[in-house]
Amino acid sequence: MTEKKKVVVAMSGGVDSTLTARLLLDQGYDVYGATMYQFDGQDEEIEGARSMAEFIGIPFKVVDVREAYQKFVLSYFIDAYARGMTPNPCMMCDFKVKFGLFYDEVRRAFDAPYFATGHYARILYNPERQKYEVHKGIDLGKDQSYMMYHLTQDQLAHIIFPLGRTYKKDTRRISKEKGLPTYNKAESQDICFLTSESSYVEFLKNHAPEAFRPGNIVDKKGRVLGQHRGIPYYTIGQRKGLGIAARTPLYVTALRPDKNQVVVGDNDDLFRTRLLADELHFTDGEAPAEEFRCQAKIRYGIKVHDCTVTLERNGRAVVKFDEPQRAITTGQSVVFYDDDRLIGGGTIMRAL
């Protein structure tokens, strides 16, 4: 008999990660479970993951990543809002912590070559290109390939996404058929560290009160139309909560932290065809060319759109869309695709 392949599953105690572990067991893997201890007040989640590991009969480990989580996720989240950006803490957590420190630690601890999560994406090996590729999940409504553009070729060779070929609507049914008690468990919230605070605004007020300085709401010509309560209250494309009476609807079109201003305009002012991005990563390890055609999306959960990407010598890229995009937001990710295949991505610096 050949030795079973060892795999560590990142477990949260939820539907997806528990089913991931069960499916890999059924496929003959030697499965281990592990959970990240990210922040204080996480006891319920950790115990939920531990109990599910015990239920399906696999060894379990908790890895303390609080220091890294504070540095790479919480500090980033707070700093980004203070600088007028709209951060993506889940993306940063995946990049720096889950597929970074945690990935390395648990594979070493269990002497396991493979690492698995419950993400809805696919990893394929292309023998013609001799590259590992990330492809969209079969369930396009749940596809999470957008979050994976930081992954390297070495990581892709050791990561498994068992749910990539599963539709979300079937996940609970399969879990129930396999007798998993998580089949009817509620979905987790978007920003996991908002446990005691009811909103990200309250979290920021507790951790960065200096960011909430009142200032002017102005139009694109700089005329003062009203007062804002602090830049973190606002994001690009926002319409409600501006407190300004106007004949036509007004939207937030820009944030100027250097002047402590919120800029508003009409809906047409939100559309741009170009953006500037930095912090670029490509799953092949290099860009396809200095200029290439692809499809891209500027936030999670929307459709891709045709564009041209032009790389600059300073490590940045200009992305020009064939059609104007609404509410290009500083701090979010622009992610590139060739049909279903993920090419790479970067962080949006600003609309041009």
- Which residues participate in the annotated binding site for ATP? 10-17, 36, 118
Amino acid letter, 250: L
Q: Is 307 a catalytic residue?
A: no
Q: What one-character DSSP code corresponds to residue 187?
A: P
- Looking at the chain, list the stretches that DSSP marks H as alpha helix, in order from N- to C-terminal side: 15-26, 43-56, 66-69, 75-82, 89-92, 103-109, 153-156, 168-177, 200-207
Question: How many angstroms separate the CA atoms of 341 and 134, rounded?
Answer: 6
Interior/surface letters 158-193, b for 16+ CB within 10 angstroms, e for the rest: bbbbbbbebbbeebbebbeeeebebbebeeeeebbb
- Measured between alpha carbons, how far is residue 62 from residues 49, 92, 213, 296 in Å? 9, 20, 40, 37
Q: Are strands 224-228 and 215-218 parallel, antiparallel or unpaired?
A: antiparallel
Question: How many angstroms separate the CA atoms of 261 and 230, rounded?
Answer: 9
**Do 180 and 18 form a contact (C-beta atoms < 8 A)?**
yes
Q: Is 93 a catalytic residue?
A: yes
Return the H-helix or E-strand segment holding 61: strand 60-64
Angle between helices 168-177 and 15-26 (to 10 degrees): 60
Point out the catalytic residue in the list 90, 192, 294, 307: 192
Token couple for 40: 């204080």
Residues that are catalytic:
93, 192
